[in-house]
Amino acid sequence: MILYELISYDVLRVIWWVLLGVLLIGFALTDGFDMGVGALLPFVAKTDVERRVVINTVGPVWEGNQVWFILGGGAIFAAWPPLYAVSFSGFYLAMFAVLACFILRPVGFKYRSKRESARWRSGWDWALFVGGAGPALLFGVAVGNAMLGVPFHLNDLLMPMYDGTFYGKFLGLLRPFAILSGVVSFAMLIMHGAAWLALKTEGEINARARRMGSVAGIVAIVAYALAGVWLAFGVDGFTLTSDVVANGPSNPLYSEVARGGSWLSAYAERPWIAIAPALGFLGMGLAVLGLRSRREVSTLLFSKLGILGVISSVGLTMFPFILPSTVDPASSLTVWDASSSHRTLFIMLVCALIFMPLILAYTAWVYKVLWGKVTEDDVTGSSHSY
């Protein structure tokens, strides 16, 4: 109880905003290379044995990597209930598409080698491609829409009401800036998957992955720069125009929000946040150089650094907004007025402090045990490989 009283409500809100970012970044760093590998599968591997090698680079770890996605979804549900409600109302069809892709992946991994038929295996290879490429693109589109704002409002009972049409829940998300954000995400995770394959494979697979990954990295850098320019001159930002009550009740309607200006004004108010996009450009640039110069461990680490910078730049640019509203800016969700109660956030923090170290320790142990390259002899000589 003493610790509960020491950690104030506003501090807990910021802690859970940071933790949500950590979970999403952790998902991108781990399951991101799984998705990148799946998207690269039909192109970096030409023969059946080569494709089995590619699949087995992620086969032992992909299920564990998805824990970060589950934790992120759980954190949104428990720590930011209005965000969960609006997201599942407005992004319903897009989330269904992501779920379908996630279902394809385990089925593809398990069923691909059940028959010797070339057509059978090719079909599952393309299913794995969709299972990796689809979420890599759609997650970026979702981030782009969060920065543009979503058409929803809160009624008098604080129930989130989505104002878009049923078909708009998917097609309405495909706005030009959101598509560009999807390109950034897709290309970045392709680069990340290529960095993983450069570490885990050899020979022709390794060479093809390096070539494709370096091209994807350049596309990601250019698209990220274009997104920054677009944000500066073509996207209206959101601003809190009332006094911030950091310890106040979770009622977005208490705040006054204006739409206009630029999201990038945050860099004038908090210059230190420029480190995030700088790390994004630096990490992706060094990853491209590492792919071209045949480095392995450092290339993967630089790729992770780039992803960390890119995702962090979104959260830091939008702070304190989590999900703005285009039809009623006053309904926009922020860190200060869209969280669960003080007690709920505290109990969740205690659980996170107990279980997060266990997850990190287990993950580190698994990667240590599975360290090393996957070869053709490994997959043809083992009955346990995919």
Q: Exposed, middle or buried: residue 99 (CB in 10 Å: 0-12, 13-18, 19+)?
A: exposed
Q: Is residue 35 over pLDDT 90? A: yes
Per-residue pLDDT band for 151 (boundaries 50, 70, 90) equals confident
Say how far apart CA 380 and CA 115 lie, in whole Å. 15
In DSSP notation, 143-168 reads: HHHHHH-BSEEE-TT--EEE-S-TGG
Q: Is residue 169 over pLDDT 80? A: no
Say how far apart CA 2 and CA 8 lie, in whole Å. 11
pLDDT in tens, 296-328: 899 999 999 999 999 999 999 999 999 999 888
Averaged pLDDT for residues 163-190? 84
Tokens of 194: 């290529």
Query: pLDDT value at position 179?
Result: 95
Q: Is residue 164 over pLDDT 80? A: no
Closest to 153 in 3D by CA, of 329, 295, 294, 374:
329
Say how far apart CA 283 and CA 299 lie, in whole Å. 9
User: Cβ distance 162 to 86 under 8 Å?
Assistant: yes
Query: pLDDT value at position 70?
Result: 84
Task: Please give the mean pLDDT across all residues of the chain.
Answer: 89
Which H or E run contains 298?
Answer: helix 297-318
Tokens of 98: 């992501």
- Quickly count helices (H) and strands (E) in the chain: 15, 6
User: Cβ distance 58 to 386 under 8 Å?
Assistant: no
Closest to 323 in 3D by CA, of 158, 99, 90, 159:
90
Say how far apart CA 4 and CA 79 lie, in whole Å. 16
Query: pLDDT value at position 155?
Result: 83
**Predicted TM-score of the model (pTM):** 0.92
Closest to 329 in 3D by CA, of 256, 232, 220:
256
Say how far apart CA 174 and CA 325 lie, in whole Å. 17
Query: C-alpha angle 188/190/191, rounded to 5°?
Result: 65
Q: Is residue 245 over pLDDT 90? A: no
Query: pLDDT value at position 178?
Result: 93
Q: Count CB atoms within 10 A of the CB of residue 217.
A: 31
Say how far apart CA 373 and CA 192 lie, in whole Å. 17
Closest to 124 in 3D by CA, of 114, 137, 135:
114
